């Protein structure tokens, strides 16, 4: 068990090492900023991974590009704009609010508000129904009920 | 009023089904390109077969042309290749190849084996131009008009059907 754990840890550290060793003499400041930016960018080859997590060749290239732009002194905003210009809003894990993404941003709010309104409406109706007096029973119905109750009493 | 109680959830469910059904018909790999109706990004690259000769998209001004991203390691390119060969035989449109992240020797050998439909290919060995064109999966094909504006991007292999249904009418319109 311990040996397995040691092997797994070694493998994991190897993975981490694999990425940081992507370039020689990595500047820790650049790498830290790269990490924060790369975590917001989608790798379009393996769409549910960020370019920080992906090992796809494109992700490696985009990390290299981002690194170069950081070294050139570009701001995070400029780097994001660079990516969007080439790959569209889809590259951002946090898409901007615009005409195309409006539904995406607004729909959850509408659903929550709509659900709450529906709930309030339903509860109010239920309360009013409870307040209203029960309709009087007609004679035939009353006799039926009494007969049932009586038959129940007869049981031991 | 009572019927409404049943109709509303049913309507919401039906609407959801419609949205999901539409979602099923869409390929998540086909991301709309931000380049449509924008000028093709400029670059200067060496040609694949003549390393001394340079090419820039500006050289094609006045012509409608295709920029096809391909590589010898790209499996889908192999599927697409006979279609490109056919387009080239028919003289539909000049096709410039963007050889993407490939070794020069592998690329030329591949063209020797499978035929060369390109007027020429340019060699993007480090994928820099690929990034500028937002390439994320070869093959990709850009249709560029006489003014050097990208009018259409095809992601994935072009099928013979795509040629007839999309490319032929589009090229005719752009050439008109």
Measured between CB atoms, which of A65, A85, A87 is closest to B136?
A87
The model's pLDDT over B118-131, given as tens digits with 9 standing for 90+, comes to 999 999 998 889 99
Looking at residue B85, what is its pLDDT?
93
Measure the CA–CA gap between B145 and B148, rounded to whole angstroms: 5
The reply to whether residue B137 touches residue A44, judged by beta carbons under 8 angstroms, is yes
Q: Is A85 on the interface with B (CB under 8 A)?
A: yes
Most B CBs within 10 Å, among A41, A58, A60, A103, to test the B interface: A58
The average pLDDT across B15-23 equals: 91
Looking at residue A133, what is its pLDDT?
76
The single residue listed with the structure tokens 């068990």 is: A1
Which domains, from first to last, does chain B contain?
A: 35-175 (3.40.30.10)
Give B13 or B33, the one with higher predicted confidence: B13
**Residues B160, B95 contacting (CB under 8 angstroms):** no
pLDDT at B32 over 80: no
The total of other beta-carbon atoms located within 10 Å of residue B69's CB is: 25
Q: Coil, strand, or helix at residue B144? A: strand
Looking at residue A88, what is its pLDDT?
85
- pLDDT means per 10 residues, chain A with 156 residues, are 62 48 72 87 84 86 90 89 88 84 89 94 89 80 87 63
Looking at residue A2, what is its pLDDT?
64
In this structure, what token pair is assigned to residue A54? 């992906």
The reply to whether residue B136 touches residue A57, judged by beta carbons under 8 angstroms, is no
In this structure, what token pair is assigned to residue A142? 């009353």
Query: Whose CA is closest to B154, among B143, B170, B169?
Result: B143
Catalogue the E-assigned strands of A60-119: none
The model's pLDDT over B86-112, given as tens digits with 9 standing for 90+, comes to 999 998 899 999 999 999 999 999 999
Decide: pTM greater than 0.90.
no
Q: Picking from A18-22, A57-61, B22-26, B113-117, which range would have the lowest pLDDT averaged per residue?
A: A18-22
Q: Is A82 on the interface with B (CB under 8 A)?
A: no
Q: Return the residue of B nearest to A82 by Cα.
A: B132
Looking at residue A94, what is its pLDDT?
84
The reply to whether residue B134 touches residue A45, judged by beta carbons under 8 angstroms, is no
**Residues B172, B163 contacting (CB under 8 angstroms):** no
pLDDT at B29 over 80: no
Q: Return the residue of A nearest to B12 by Cα.
A: A111
Mean pLDDT, all residues of chain B: 90
Which domains, from first to last, does chain A contain?
A: 16-91 (1.10.8.640), 102-154 (no CATH)
Cis peptide before B139 (omega within 30 of 0): yes
Looking at residue A15, what is its pLDDT?
44
The reply to whether residue A86 touches residue B32, judged by beta carbons under 8 angstroms, is no
**Residues B150, B142 contacting (CB under 8 angstroms):** yes
Q: How many CB pairs under 8 A join A and B?
A: 35
Query: Whose CA is closest to B154, among B171, B164, B166, B169?
Result: B166
Q: Is A65 on the interface with B (CB under 8 A)?
A: yes
């Amino acid at each position: 068990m311990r040996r397995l754990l040691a092997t797994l840890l070694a493998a994991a550290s190897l993975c981490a090492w694999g990425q940081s060793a992507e370039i020689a003499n990595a500047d820790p400041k650049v790498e830290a900023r790269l990490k924060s930016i790369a975590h917001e960018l989608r790798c379009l080859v393996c769409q549910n991974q960020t370019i920080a997590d992906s090992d796809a060749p494109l992700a490696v290239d985009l990390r290299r590009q981002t690194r170069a732009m950081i070294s050139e002194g570009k701001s995070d905003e400029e780097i994001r704009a660079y990516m969007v210009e080439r790959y569209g809003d889809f590259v951002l894990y946090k898409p901007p609010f615009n005409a195309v993404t409006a539904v995406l941003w607004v729909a959850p709010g509408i659903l929550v508000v709509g659900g709450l309104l529906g709930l309030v409406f339903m509860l109010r109706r239920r309360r009013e129904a409870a307040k209203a007096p029960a309709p009087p029973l007609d004679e035939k119905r009353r006799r039926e009920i009494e007969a049932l109750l009586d038959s129940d009493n007869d049981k031991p | 009023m009572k019927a409404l109680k049943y109709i509303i959830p049913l309507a919401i469910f039906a609407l959801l089904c419609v949205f999901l059904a539409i979602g099923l018909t869409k390929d998540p790999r086909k991301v709309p390109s931000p380049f449509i109706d924008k000028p093709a990004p400029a670059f200067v690259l060496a040609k694949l077969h003549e390393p001394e000769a340079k090419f820039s998209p500006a050289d094609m001004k006045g012509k409608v042309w295709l920029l096809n991203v391909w590589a010898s390691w790209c499996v889908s390119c192999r599927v697409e290749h006979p279609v490109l060969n056919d387009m080239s035989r028919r003289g539909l449109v000049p096709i410039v190849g963007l050889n993407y992240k490939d070794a020069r020797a592998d690329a030329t050998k591949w063209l020797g084996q499978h035929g060369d439909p390109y007027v020429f290919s340019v060699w993007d060995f480090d994928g820099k131009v690929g990034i500028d064109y937002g390439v994320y999966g070869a093959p990709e094909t850009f249709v560029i008009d006489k003014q050097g504006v990208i009018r259409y991007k095809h992601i994935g292999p072009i099928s013979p059907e795509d040629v007839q249904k999309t490319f032929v009418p589009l090229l005719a319109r752009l050439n008109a």
